[in-house]
Amino acid sequence: MIIVMDYQAPDEQIEVIEKKLVSMGVQTNVSRGVQRTIIGAVGDVSRIDTKLIDALPGVEQIIRIMKPYKIVSRESHGADTVIDISGVKLGGSLVQVIGGPCSVETQEQMDLAASAVADAGCKLMRGGAFKPRTSPYSFQGVGIEGLAMFHKAASKHNLPIVTELMDVRMLDTFMENDVDVIQIGTRNMQNFDLLKEVGQIHKPVILKRGMSATISEWLMSAEYIAAGGNHNIIFCERGIRSFETAYRNVLDVTAIPVLKKETHLPVIVDPSHAGGKAWMVPALSKAAVAAGADGLLIETHPNPPEAWCDADQALNPNELKDLMVQLRGIANVIGREL
């Protein structure tokens, strides 16, 4: 059960409700988001007389939620959530494409990448300064300086930036460097301490699906972030592990409508890490948009053969531009804008 409080209900009203719930034998979790404060009642709520709580000041709505993920579930909020990313909207009727290189390399590379991303019509940019690599001997990312390079390049085109956070100790640095969207990568989808920390801030978070995670595990991970008070979560399907070796991962297109049914939060798709080859990216991107994705996260590099990371799957600037035109056609057919 969740109790949705009036916008900006004072702490005293929240405390009264918490005490009442505890006296009824359940535990509480208060999630203070920017738009709404939600009190979660956890435990045996079957015998709670909701009328006794509904009458208390500050209560807007009481919703009995059967799913284990409460705040992120569609039961808690029927309408699609639109997330504001430093003025750029993600969700609703829009389809947003986030373009950019796998990793930040040099200022020149980021300047060229930002121009290409803006020129293709993308409104958001990606790039990793800290890279989760399978081998400790592979390039690990340029680190903190990369955040400044990224910011400098992207701000010339008013592109909010998306970058991966791997270590909780870097969160303050990300905030100081005005990262607009924090990406939690596939390898950290169940790093619960990391999820709890990003739950304490209000920056939008892209939560990638763990490479072998079920939909319900993924939803529960998002709930960790939401329970802390950060309701600005974007799911990102990036392909899952299977027996198949002909491509990097299997893009789980089925996950798109399933998630859209289960959650009110936006769902985007990363076709680059799914296919693992640039030539597969257009087909997978089109399938994702047709299936109802709210956006795409596409790796693109000014000169793919020279990329320091994931060179095989990066689109070049012209390929990105061409793909955007095709995607716009698909979006329009299904009544969306891109």
| 200 CB-near residues (< 8 Å, 6+ apart) | 228, 229, 230
Site residues (CB under 5 A) for Mn ion, limited to 33-92: none
Please identify, using beta-carbon distances, which residue of 132 and 143 lies nearer to ligand PEP. 132
Q: Which is nearer to ligand PEP, 185 or 266 (CB)?
A: 185
Given the complex with ligand PEP, which of 1 and 269 has the nearer CB atom? 269
Tell me whether residue 262 or residue 310 sits nearer to Mn ion (CB atom).
Answer: 310
Q: Judged by CB, which is closer to Mn ion: 64, or 277?
A: 277
Calpha distance 96→338 (Å, rounded): 6
Task: Supply the minimum distance, in Å, between the C-beta of residue 228 and ligand PEP.
Answer: 21
- In angstroms, what is the minimal distance from the CB of 285 to ligand PEP? 15
102 binds Mn ion (CB under 5 A): yes
31 binds, among ligand PEP, Mn ion, none (CB under 5 to 8 A by kind): none
From Mn ion, ligand PEP, none, interface partner of 203 (C-beta below 5 to 8 A by class): none
Q: Which residue has the tokens 């799913």?
A: 67
**Counting contacts by CB under 5 A, is residue 270 touching Mn ion?**
no
Q: Report if residue 237 touches Mn ion, rule: CB under 5 A.
A: no
In the complex, least distance from residue 250 CB atom to Mn ion, rounded to whole angstroms: 17
Q: List contacts with ligand PEP (CB under 6 A).
A: 102, 128, 132, 185-186, 208, 238, 270, 273
Report what 238 binds from Mn ion, ligand PEP, none; CB cut-off 5-8 Å by kind. Answer: ligand PEP
Q: Is 274 in the site for Mn ion (CB under 5 A)?
A: no
Q: Are 249 and 274 in contact (CB under 8 A)?
A: yes
Residue 316 Cβ vs ligand PEP, minimum distance, rounded to whole Å: 17
> Which structure tokens are listed for 331?
């979006």
| Residue 312 Cβ vs Mn ion, minimum distance, rounded to whole Å | 10
Indicate the residue among 41 and 149 with the shorter CB distance to Mn ion. 149
- Per rule CB under 5 A, count of chain residues that contact Mn ion: 2
3-state SS of the chain? Answer: CEEEECCCCCHHHHHHHHHHHHHCCCEEEEEECCCCEEEEEECCCCCCCHHHHHCCCCEEEEECCCCCCCCCECCCCCCCCCEEECCEEECCCECEEEEECCECCCHHHHHHHHHHHHHHCCCEEECECCCCCCCCCCCCCCCHHHHHHHHHHHHCCCCCEEEECCCHHHHHHHHHCCCCEEEECHHHCCCHHHHHHHHCCCCCEEEECCCCCCHHHHHHHHHHHHHCCCCCEEEEECCECCCCCCCCCECCCCHHHHHHHHECCCEEECHHHHHCCHHHHHHHHHHHHHCCCCEEEEEECCCHHHCCCCHHHCECHHHHHHHHHHHHHHHHHCCCEC
185 binds, among ligand PEP, Mn ion, none (CB under 5 to 8 A by kind): ligand PEP
Residues of span 283-322 touching Mn ion by CB under 5 A? 310
For ligand PEP, give the closer residue by CB, 17 or 114.
Answer: 114
Cβ closest to Mn ion, residue 102 vs residue 225? 102
By C-alpha distance, which of 97, 160, 109, 108 is closest to 309? 109
Nearest approach, Cβ of 276 to Mn ion (angstroms)? 9
Residue 275 binds: one of ligand PEP, Mn ion, none (C-beta under 5 to 8 A by kind) = none
| Chain contacts with Mn ion (rule: CB under 5 A) | 102, 310
